[in-house]
Copies of this chain bind each other. A is one copy, B any other.
């Protein structure tokens, strides 16, 4: 179904594609579609952003302040990413960037990642409130950087991401 959805979203745009059309294209009923995906958004954004990021954060030097620990953890975790995935990611982000109703969809969708990061920080001894703040902020900043990258096809993803992380870390 995701494949059918992507094709339709690319061809007609996200907002102009009713879930009924996706269901029909995938050869299932609308009900079944919603049994597999919690929402229309999930058709685009369903892939679990690695909880392995959390490990990388937990393993950072103890003296690092929360923002920097998260930033450097993500930077480290990023090195194991398949370039094929990046290309796929880009087409999906393009769809997100062009759909008015998807503002904030990335952030909403990465609640799991935020939770994992928050826990990782807490086990490092960071206060719960500060942990949540730092995790949310970094993910939000990262999301906008990814969207910018998807819109302009100039830079390669690694460089864009690196600069965003520099900014977030206070650089």
Residues of chain A touching chain B, judged by Cβ–Cβ distance below 8 Å, are 65-68, 103-104, 107-108, 111, 127, 129-130, 132-134, 136-145, 148, 160, 163-164, 166-171
Given contacts A130-B163, A144-B132, A163-B129, contact A168 B137 (CB under 8 A): yes
Q: Kindly list chain B residues whose C-beta atoms are within 8 Å of the C-beta of A160.
A: 129
> Is the pair B65, A171 in contact by a Cβ cutoff of 8 Å?
yes
Of B107, B130, B141, the contact of A104 (CB 8 Å cutoff): B107
Cα–Cα distance between A167 and B162 once the two chains are bound (Å): 21
> Is the pair B148, A129 in contact by a Cβ cutoff of 8 Å?
yes
Cα–Cα distance between A63 and B60 once the two chains are bound (Å): 28
**Interface SS majority for chain A:** helix
Of B65, B127, B132, B148, the contact of A132 (CB 8 Å cutoff): B148
Of B65, B140, B148, B170, the contact of A107 (CB 8 Å cutoff): B140
Given A133-B142, A137-B140, output 7 extra A-B contacts at Cβ < 8 Å: A65-B167, A104-B108, A107-B140, A127-B163, A130-B164, A133-B144, A137-B141
Q: Kindly list chain B residues whose C-beta atoms are within 8 Å of the C-beta of A145.
A: 129, 132-133
Cα–Cα distance between A136 and B160 once the two chains are bound (Å): 16
- Most B CB contacts (10 A, CB to CB) among A136, A140, A143, A160 go to A140
Across the interface, name the chain B residue whose C-beta is closest to A170. Answer: B170
7 A–B pairs (Cβ distance < 8 Å), ordered by A: A65-B167, A67-B169, A104-B108, A129-B145, A130-B164, A133-B144, A137-B137
The 6 closest A-B pairs by CB, nearest first: A137-B141, A140-B140, A170-B170, A137-B137, A104-B104, A130-B167
Q: Kindly list chain B residues whose C-beta atoms are within 8 Å of the C-beta of A171.
A: 65
> Is the pair B170, A68 in contact by a Cβ cutoff of 8 Å?
yes
